[in-house]
Amino acid sequence: MVGQAGQPSVTATNTNGAWTSADATGRRMPRHIAVIMDGNGRWAQARGQSRLIGHAAGAERAKELTKTCGTLGIEVLTLYSFSVENWNRPADEVAGLMELAALQLAAEREGLASNNVRFRHLGSRAGLPPRVLDELDATERHTASCTGLTLCLALNYGSRSEIVEAVRSIAVRVQSGSLAPSSIDEALISDSLYTAGLPDPDLVIRTAGESRVSNYLLWQISYAELHVTSTLWPDFDAAALDRALSDFAGRTRKWGRLSGQEGP
């Protein structure tokens, strides 16, 4: 089950201004994990099944990963579910994905709340079916007071369009005279993105062996560690996550500094 409130299995410390965390064995842990869930279709096709069967299997894996991350005390888990480019897929697959999203949100809402998981939608609302929007809104409302893991679903998400929206919102403030151009800084831009208020991802996991970021959190992952695995998403189990976490723990995060100067 997802870790209960007040009982995380990680501890946080502040070293030279940089927040880090460690599990019970002392292994350094990420605060925020972002996942590009790839390989559902290939997983299904290898079994002679439809791509939608693969997406359903991937949804179950996402559910399991959420539980595991909650138990580990991870603060934020962001899952790349459907990109703005995915609208170009066959209409029947897109319709099936939207139906699956609505069904999963409705089915998992109570479980998220009972396990203290807060849900957030990252992405554009434009173009999403009304039923999906209703389920997204209901799940956000139902879990708004939860204080454990924050689960972000990047649905109808594209990082370039996110940045464009942020720039437009800032431009409106400048045009109205409520914001001076000299006041625009990185913090303001970060606060204008879908991820406002969340720590940037420390670790990006991409499954199915593809070595690209696919228009995902481009601003936010500028100093994230990347872990690419050939494992297809429906097969990405707790052992695969543990390998990714061990990989992360072995990295030296310098943020442009020299070795021995770790920390932002």
Where in the sequence numbering do the catalytic residues fall? 38, 86
The two tokens of residue 152 are 């972000």
Nearest to 31 by CA among 70, 66, 75: 75
Paired tokens of 213:
């970021």
DSSP state of 77: E
Is 188 in contact with 140 (CB distance < 8 Å)?
no
Residue 208, Ramachandran bin (φ over 0: left; ψ between -120 and 50: alpha; else beta): left
Quote the CA–CA distance of 185 and 169 in Å, as a whole number.
Answer: 14
Q: How far apart are CA 161 and CA 12, in angstroms?
A: 34
What is the number of alpha carbons within 13 Å of residue 83 lying toward its C-beta?
Answer: 18
Strand partners, 12: 21
**What is the three-class DSSP state of 150?**
strand
Tokens standing for residue 73: 């005390």
Cβ neighbours of residue 155 closer than 8 Å, sequence gap 6 or more: 81, 82, 101, 121, 122, 123, 128, 132, 136
